[in-house]
Amino acid sequence: MQFLNKNIELNFMSKRKIAAFVSAILLLVSIGSLIVQGLNFGIDFTGGTMIEVAYQEEAKLDVIRNTLNQNGYDDVIVQNFGSIHDVLIRLPVIETENMAELSNKVLAALQAEHETTIDVRRVEFVGPQVGEELTEQGGLAMLYALFGILIYVSLRFEYRFAIGSIIALIHDVVLTLGFFSVLQLEFDLTVLAAILAIIGYSLNDTIVVFDRIRETFLRMRKGSSEEIINKALNDTLSRTLMTSLTTLLVVFSLYTFGGEVIHAFAIALLLGIVIGTYSSIYIASNAVLTMGVSKADLLPPEKEGDQDINEDGSQV
């Protein structure tokens, strides 16, 4: 869909040094926060206790959460599970508590504030060893994804494009992780899923931009590399903005109406979409231009029979 003027000519690359400087500062802040503070891992990674309870009437999550906070369980996660009567309570590892008796204490605290009987459906303990395994497997999943992307883009385009796409992906992931580290938002498996979705979204946007850059290099006979890349970015601007805005609309709806359970997931996606759109223009394309890509790099290799002919008819 074309909703911008077809003759629009924004000079994106004229601001590439400023964009690179801003990104470098944000990357340093993100990496520094990840080193100093780290991520606030949720129960999926650290281990803890999951308790499912059933109320006879509609469970009021805010009341349950406040009751547990007043009893010293500050990091508790309370959410509906299956119906408005069933509640899933997730508690991190508490070193001073006997985890085998923790469910009884939680139930006693809730029952003291409630008149009708509360039933315990199940109690599960996720040990720290399971959390470490999930952390390791999650990290390996991202490394495998980046490695596969490097191979794919190298085969489809040219090695400079592959390097540019990987730089953009690392930029997007590090800034998103840095955001969660700086604000100490909980990082659980839903956020990890959002990170992997961001990788796919950013790569898709970058591939579309790179494909247009390659076509523009082969189509335009005159113009510097910077002018050609600017032309390609302007040609894809309508598509990029339309895709980003419609995706943001859906994710914002998830954040607004999806409840507290998926807030972190929605925040990660919102941030990733904005950063991914920015990086496909000012990081990936900037990296390709900085590495000196030219029309000669994108021309198909000459076949053995395609040789120059001298004036006397002999082959060179």
Annotation: CATH topology of 130-295: Multidrug efflux transporter AcrB transmembrane fold (1.20.1640)
Name the one residue in this structure whose structure tokens are 């394309």: 285
pLDDT per residue as tens digits for the range 180-226: 999 988 888 888 888 888 888 888 888 888 888 888 887 876 778 78
Number of Cβ atoms within 10 Å of the Cβ of 227: 15
Give 26-74 pLDDT, tens digit per residue. 999 999 999 998 888 877 777 778 888 888 888 888 888 888 888 887 7
Q: How far is CA 141 from CA 189, 192, 199, 231, 266, in A?
A: 12, 10, 11, 36, 20
Segment 244-276, tens digit of pLDDT: 888 889 898 888 887 777 888 899 999 999 998
Predicted model pTM: 0.75
Please choose, from the candidates 165, 298, 289, the residue with its C-alpha nearest in 3D space to the C-alpha of residue 220. 298
Residues 6+ apart with CB under 8 A from 186: 40, 41, 42, 77, 264
Where along the chain do its domains lie? 48-126, 130-295
Q: What is the DSSP letter of 284?
A: I
Whether the CB-CB separation of 46 and 128 falls below 8 Å is answered with yes
Indicate the fold that domain 48-126 takes in CATH.
Answer: Alpha-Beta Plaits (3.30.70)
